[in-house]
Amino acid sequence: MNLLKKVPEVVVTIVLIALALTVVLPMLIPMFFVFKTRLEFAYDPWGWPTTIRWDNFIGAWNAIRIDQGLINTLYVSLGAILCTVPPAAMAGYIFARYRSRVTEIIFYLVLAGYFVPALMVLIPLYRLSARMGLANTLPGLFLPMAAFGIPFWTIIYRSFFRGLPEELAEAARIDGAGHLDTFFRVMLPLAKPATFLAGLLVFIGAWSDYLLSLIMLSDQRLFTMQLRVAQFLNNYGVSNMPRYAAGVVISALPTIILYILGHRWILKGTLAGALKG
């Protein structure tokens, strides 16, 4: 009897695993290609590779200058973290702990920014950065990115700081700590989980950006990884698919590794944002 009861569970579990496989398997497609020569690929694209050779990785690396791409993207991602997280933490702290009519109004102004799509303001953004000398520079990419990330992380920090017990700030004040000390010495260290999460997700977001990079960068040397990957197909086409696949693997790997390491945090952070949003 017990066994019969288990039947629906087994069936549903199998269906769920099958659906999960449809998520994972397409990501493994490039693995069929990357170890092949062009000839092997043309002859049998889906066969098992006969030998493991790394030529395609080296070829891709040189063809689209992946080293340059990685440095640029890393620079953009770190710039985005530095410009997004501290302003958001500071503002979130004020909105959580210094509530008054004025700060509430400012908070709603910031909150409204969460709903503005960057797509809408592309033209003025581009013209503005041209006037500020930021067009075709990497800061021209991560400064607007930060502006569009700050509202979300301010909301997260605000709810995080509101969740911390009031007594901590009180204790710090009794010890004679001023506003600044209370924030930097007591509250900010306690917000480490939020800071860690913000760093991780801002990094992944900046690493993955396509649209802003597309409009802001015209100098090939400044191209980010995503632009290089997208360009690869245009420049070399399907004629060198194994090498293309290798480039794709290199550029996808960092986000996948970060996700595997931090998926608990990422899921939590995504939900926190969505539940607030």
Per CB under 8 A, 277 contacts other proteins? yes
Query: Given candidates 48, 124, 131, 221, which one binds other proteins under the rule CB under 8 A?
Result: 124
Q: Rg of the Cα trace of the chain?
A: 24
CA neighbor of 66 nearest in space, from 250, 252, 258, 255: 250
SS3 category, 39: helix
- For residues 77 and 106, give the distance between their C-alpha atoms in angstroms, rounded to a whole number: 27
Query: Given candidates 50, 54, 67, 127, which one binds other proteins under the rule CB under 8 A?
Result: 127
On the 0-12 / 13-18 / 19+ scale of CB atoms within 10 A, 85 is: buried
Tell which positions 135-194 bind other proteins, by CB under 8 A.
143-144, 146-148, 150-151, 154, 159, 166-167, 169-170, 173-174, 178-180, 183
Tell which positions 227-266 bind other proteins, by CB under 8 A.
227, 229-230, 233, 238, 241, 244-245, 248, 251-252, 255-256, 258-259, 263-264, 266
Residue among 63 and 94 whose Cβ is closer to other proteins:
94
CA neighbor of 66 nearest in space, from 224, 240, 199: 224
Query: Given candidates 139, 215, 236, 265, which one binds other proteins under the rule CB under 8 A?
Result: 215
- For residues 107 and 97, give the distance between their C-alpha atoms in angstroms, rounded to a whole number: 12
Token output for 55: 């030529």
Tell which positions 62-121 bind other proteins, by CB under 8 A.
83, 86-88, 90-91, 93-94, 97-100, 103, 106, 109-110, 113, 115-117, 119-121
Query: Given candidates 70, 74, 122, 186, which one binds other proteins under the rule CB under 8 A?
Result: 122
